[in-house]
Chains A and B, each alone.
Chain A
Amino acid sequence: MSGEMTTMLAEQSRLGRARVMPWIRRLIFYLILLSIWEGIVRLEIWPPYLFPGPLIVANALWEGVTQGLFLPAALVSLRRLAIGYSISLSLGLVLGLLLGRNKLIQETVGSLVLGMQALPSVCWLPLAILWFGLNERAIIFVVVLGALFSITLGVEAGVKNTPPVYLKAARNLGARGVRLYTQVLLPAALPAILNGLKQGWSFAWRSLMAGELLYYTLSLGNLLQTGRDLNDAAQVMAVMVMIVIVGVTIDQILFAPVERRVRERWGLA
């Protein structure tokens, strides 16, 4: 009895350690990385205004945030992203379903989508500026195109790989029309759709940053550009850190929980 208890406790502490150890290893890795960075800076191969050390960058990040510059900029970028991504999401779901279910659309529009996917969406920016002017609409257009095709292709793949027996079973149980799409096809395709959504999100984020480099209003991408104009490498690096933080945070908040739930339900590892 007590022997059982001890083995159970030992097991639990082993599991606890297994959870903490990766974090400790990660921490050590980053500490080493920062020291190497600092070490190279100390060699003074490049002047510090071009290649600042981690402390100076951290300071620039702190100042950028406390002086009320970085957070409003991040909000501007996130707002554009949210609008653009929502549009791609709605269009992509519909388009993907159509592509997955209709042979004619698949043969025609499908080839176009594949071609568009090969074109980095920031290539659309010059055209968008000609059409819309250097304004919100042009940049949101680019964000939409950034995410649209990945989402479309993800939905299409999901729908095509759905075992037909699910549809048969659903029809057999009385499901008809639109409900076959909303209650069977979409949920059945969720794992593949989620991949498309994640890829679309990262493409949208990249296109947005690239696009914002050309803009004069406050935004994360624009802060990179002003940092360059001011010859302030520390600000540029601080903004880059900021962009990474925003990207990772959104991934963790938006996608990680959904992904965990899908894995749990489907019984994927």
Chain B
Amino acid sequence: MAERHLVAQHGHAVAGMADASEQPSGGISLEIVGVSKRFLARGRMVEALAPVDLQVKPGELICLLGPSGCGKSTLLSIIAGLEPPSSGLIRAGGRKVQGPGIDRVLLFQEAALFPWLDVQHNVAFGLRQAGMPEAERMRMAREYLELVHLSGFEHSYVHQLSGGMRQRVALARALVLNPAVLLMDEPFGALDALTRDKLQIELETIWAATGKTILFVTHNVREAVALGDRVLVFSPRPGRIIQEFSITLPRPRSLEHHQTIDQAREILAVLHADQRPDEEANDEW
């Protein structure tokens, strides 16, 4: 049902949303070329991300795994155009990324909904920026809230929602813009296993229906295996890709299936092996 609903939405053209309407059914390619990031923190240079190279095909779902602080959020932020890289460049659909654009929408670790707006207006925020008239954007907000199973909560405020509901609103707020790329930063990280499984299935359904390009950061190795076409493992900070796994298991993949578990175990071994070197050693740059 969710698929049909979303597919019906594909054609929607929003004034000023050139990218979305040019590529109505989903993904564009991403090229990440030698992207690194250094921060100046308290007078000290901190290298957050070592040069990363990555090619993502249109419609690919890639999961990023890595120890805390290795620069995963930083990388997504750079791809979203919210921060400039210290070196290298990003191409989205062949064009160089020069700033934020609604062809690439980031879902933040902490949902980042606006507490001064109700749920419906949160979802409609991006459409408002694009200049869509009030009635039209409210109608679309309602549709996308239905898609994430939140009908009836249009007029709730953020603090009245559970963590899982907030992530769904954030997902609706991103999907309503019909972005070609979804950058998801541990969106389900803080949720219980049951809610997480449910959202994961919903995400996979939406992805299958729309063919969007998705980068998905997670700490959950099995989740990565269950979702990803490819799983990339990052080293501790400064993060670089140390290994790449292509997951060819048939979909839908159960988290409990022994093949999933075996694949996850293999990845976990790589993740652990590289975490051994003392964290402190990486602190100075």
Evaluate contact between A165 and B112: CB separation under 8 angstroms.
yes
What are 21 pairs between A and B in contact, CB < 8 Å? A165-B108, A165-B110, A166-B112, A166-B114, A169-B114, A170-B125, A172-B82, A172-B100, A172-B102, A172-B106, A173-B126, A173-B173, A173-B177, A174-B126, A174-B177, A175-B125, A176-B129, A179-B129, A184-B114, A188-B115, A265-B115
Measured CB to CB, the closest approach of chain B to A184, in angstroms, equals 7
Q: Digitize B144-178: 1 where CB-to-A-CB distance is under 8 Å, 0 elsewhere.
A: 00000000000001111000000000000100010
Decide: A169 and B100 in contact? CB cutoff 8 A. no
Q: A171–B80 Cα gap in the complex (Å)? A: 10
Which positions 112-153 of chain B face chain A at CB distance < 8 Å?
Answer: 112, 114-118, 125-126, 128-130
Instruction: Annotate A256-269 by CB proximity to B: 1 below 8 A, 0 otherwise.
Output: 00000000111100
Per-residue CB proximity of A158-173 to B under 8 Å, as 1/0? Answer: 0000000110111111
Given contacts A165-B108, A168-B82, A264-B157, contact A174 B114 (CB under 8 A): no
CB distance from B255 to the nearest CB of A (A): 30
Answer yes or no: A187 CB below 8 A from chain B CBs: yes
Contact surface of A with B, Cβ cutoff 8 Å: 165-166, 168-176, 179, 183-184, 187-188, 190, 264-267
Closest 10 CB pairs of A and B: A267-B159, A173-B126, A174-B129, A187-B116, A169-B112, A165-B112, A174-B102, A171-B100, A175-B129, A265-B157
Residues of B within 8 A of A165 (CB): 108, 110, 112
Inter-chain contact A190/B102, CB cutoff 8 Å:
no
| A184-B82 Cα distance, complex, nearest whole Å | 16
Name the B residues within 8 Å of A171 (CB-CB): 82, 100
Residues of B contacting A264 with CB < 8 Å?
157
Contact B82–A266 (Cβ < 8 Å): no
CA A267 – CA B166 in complex, angstroms?
14
Complex: A267 Cα to B102 Cα, angstroms: 30
Report the minimal beta-carbon distance from A136 to chain B, rounded to whole angstroms.
37
Apart from A168-B77, A172-B82: 20 A-B pairs, beta carbons within 8 A: A165-B108, A165-B112, A169-B108, A169-B114, A172-B80, A172-B105, A172-B106, A173-B102, A173-B105, A174-B100, A174-B101, A176-B129, A179-B129, A187-B114, A187-B117, A265-B116, A265-B118, A265-B157, A266-B157, A267-B160
- Measured CB to CB, the closest approach of chain B to A14, in angstroms, equals 25
Q: Which residue of B lies closest to A187 (CB)?
A: B116
A residues near B105, Cβ cutoff 8 Å: 172-173
A169 and B126 CA atoms in complex are apart in Å by 10
CB-CB < 8 A to B130: which residues of A?
174
B108: A residues at CB distance < 8 A? 165, 168-169
> Which residue from chain A places its CB closest to the CB of B115 in the assembled complex?
A266
A103 to chain B, nearest CB (A): 15
Chain A's closest residue to B173 (CB) is A173
**CA of A173 to CA of B131 in the docked complex: distance in angstroms?**
12
Bound complex: CA A169 to CA B174 (Å):
10
Neighbouring A residues of B117 by C-beta, 8 Å: 187
Q: Please, how many angstroms separate the alpha-carbon atoms of A168 and B185 in the complex?
A: 14
The answer for the CA separation of A188 and B105 in the assembled complex, in Å, is 21
Closest to A174 in B: B129
| B112 & A168 in contact (Cβ 8 Å cutoff) | yes
